[in-house]
């Protein structure tokens, strides 16, 4: 095979593209710019850490099932761990969103980073909602019956039936987490490729 | 002991408590979380980060 033919292979082209956009020193950096030394920059990684706990506790809940998380002491604990890690996840993600909004973090060719963050936020809300209706208790019955009219009024009820427990559970533990993990991965890779957005330049007269 | 202390702080027996103001209708639980997020956001902007050198020293 000639070198020209090798260069035309999609694997070669993809490898060159990835190596160009995400060299190892960008992918796994050992230093960050001085402006990152601020508390406002910790909420992205706080969100990621909480997300890891959400997924891990979700795995355990899926393994053991509803009877376990409703009646056993350790089941209650893991159920609470899942709930409170979600609370921290959203708490940190909203502060991350506010911080990035006021930094205009879409500057410098970072628009797709912003967009993937926004879409991940929306997917996370849907994931949390399907989780609330999958608890298998009176709370989930109340939430689903209250939500059905709102969702049906949008037309989405034709394919997204909040009273269909099996469907909601599958959305909650398969489709939406998969989307959240993929989108979060893309979001983090984009941050690595472009770097953390720098602060606004100080105006001359303000110095 | 800890359970009774928490129970004394907020009673969860009965319907939730809501804040009403014109068209705004929100539970005190959600309002508290939003207030905590705002406080944390403002603190994150102004609380010094450990190990960060003063601006004049970096020049």
pLDDT digits (tens, 9 = 90+) for A116-167: 999 999 999 999 999 999 999 999 999 999 999 999 999 999 999 999 999 9
Per-residue pLDDT of chain B (59 residues; tens, 9 = 90+): 566 666 667 777 788 889 999 999 999 989 999 999 999 999 999 999 997 665 554 44
List the one residue out of A102, A95, A82 whose CA is nearest residue A47.
Answer: A95
Judge whether A72 is closer than 8 Å to chain B, CB to CB: no
Give the C-alpha separation, A134 to A37, whole Å: 40
At the fourth CATH level, the homologous superfamily of domain A104-196 is Cytochrome Bc1 Complex; Chain C (1.20.810.10)
Q: A 101-140 residues with CB below 8 A of B?
A: none
Give the C-alpha separation, A176 to A173, whole Å: 7
Give the ipTM. Answer: 0.85
Burial A107-120 (b: 16+ CB within 10 A, else e): eeebeebbebbeeb
> What pLDDT, on the 0 to 100 scale, is given for residue B8?
62
Q: Which residues does residue B24 pair with via DSSP β-bridges, in sequence order? A: B21
Q: Domain boundaries in chain A?
A: 40-88, 104-196
Percent of the residues in chain A that have a pLDDT greater than 90, as a whole number: 83
Helices marked H in A9-72 — which ranges?
A: 10-21, 24-27, 43-64, 66-71
Using an 8 Å CB-CB cutoff, list chain B residues near A95: 37, 40-41, 44
Q: B 1-59 residues with CB below 8 A of A?
A: 33, 36-37, 40-41, 43-45, 47, 49, 51-52, 58
List the one residue out of A159, A158, A161, A131 whose CA is nearest residue A145.
Answer: A161
Asked if B36 lies within 8 A of A91 by C-beta distance, the reply is yes
Asked if A91 lies within 8 A of B47 by C-beta distance, the reply is no
Q: A 2-61 residues with CB below 8 A of B?
A: 34, 37-40, 42-43
B18 DSSP assignment:
E
> What pLDDT, on the 0 to 100 scale, is given for residue B25?
95
Cβ-nearest to A95 among B44, B47, B52:
B44
| pLDDT tops 80 at residue A56 | yes
Kindly report the number of other CB atoms within 10 A of residue A152's CB atom: 15
pLDDT digits (tens, 9 = 90+) for A170-191: 999 999 999 999 999 999 999 9
CA A187 to chain centre: 8
Asked if B44 lies within 8 A of A40 by C-beta distance, the reply is yes
The residues, any chain, with a CB within 8 Å of residue B35's CB and separated by 6 or more, are none
Give the C-alpha separation, A118 to A120, whole Å: 5
Task: Tell me if B27 sits within 8 A of B17, measured CB to CB.
Answer: yes
> Given 3-state DSSP classes, what are the helix, strand and coil percentages for chain A, each rounded to the nearest 5?
80, 0, 20
Burial class (CB in 10 A: 0-12, 13-18, 19+), A165: middle
Give the C-alpha separation, A8 to A187, whole Å: 29
Using an 8 Å CB-CB cutoff, list chain A residues near B58: 34
Give the C-alpha separation, A161 to A167, whole Å: 7
């Amino acid at each position: 095979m000639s070198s020209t033919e090798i260069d035309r292979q999609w694997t070669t082209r993809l490898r060159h593209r990835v190596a160009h956009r995400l060299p190892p020193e960008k992918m796994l950096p050992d230093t960050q710019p001085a402006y990152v030394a601020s508390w406002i920059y910790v909420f992205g990684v706080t969100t990621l850490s909480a997300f890891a706990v959400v997924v891990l506790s979700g795995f355990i809940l899926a393994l053991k099932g509803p009877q376990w998380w409703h009646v056993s002491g350790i089941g209650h604990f893991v159920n609470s761990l899942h709930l409170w890690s979600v609370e921290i996840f959203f708490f940190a993600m909203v502060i991350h969103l506010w911080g990035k909004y006021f930094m205009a973090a879409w500057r410098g060719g970072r628009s797709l980073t912003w967009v993937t963050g926004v879409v991940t936020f929306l997917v996370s809300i849907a994931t949390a909602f399907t989780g609330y209706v999958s608890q298998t208790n009176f709370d989930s019955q109340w939430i689903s019956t209250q939500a059905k009219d709102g969702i049906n009024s949008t037309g989405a009820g034709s394919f997204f039936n909040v009273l269909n427990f099996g469907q909601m559970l599958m959305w909650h533990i398969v489709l939406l987490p998969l989307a959240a993990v993929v989108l979060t991965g893309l979001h983090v890779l984009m941050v690595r490729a472009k770097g953390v957005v720098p602060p606004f330049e100080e105006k001359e007269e303000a110095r | 002991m800890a359970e009774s202390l928490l129970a004394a702080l907020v009673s969860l027996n009965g319907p939730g408590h809501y804040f009403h103001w014109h068209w705004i209708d929100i539970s005190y639980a959600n309002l508290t979380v939003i207030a905590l997020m705002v406080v944390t956001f403002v603190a994150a902007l102004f609380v010094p980060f450990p190990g960060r050198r003063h601006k004049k020293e970096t020049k």
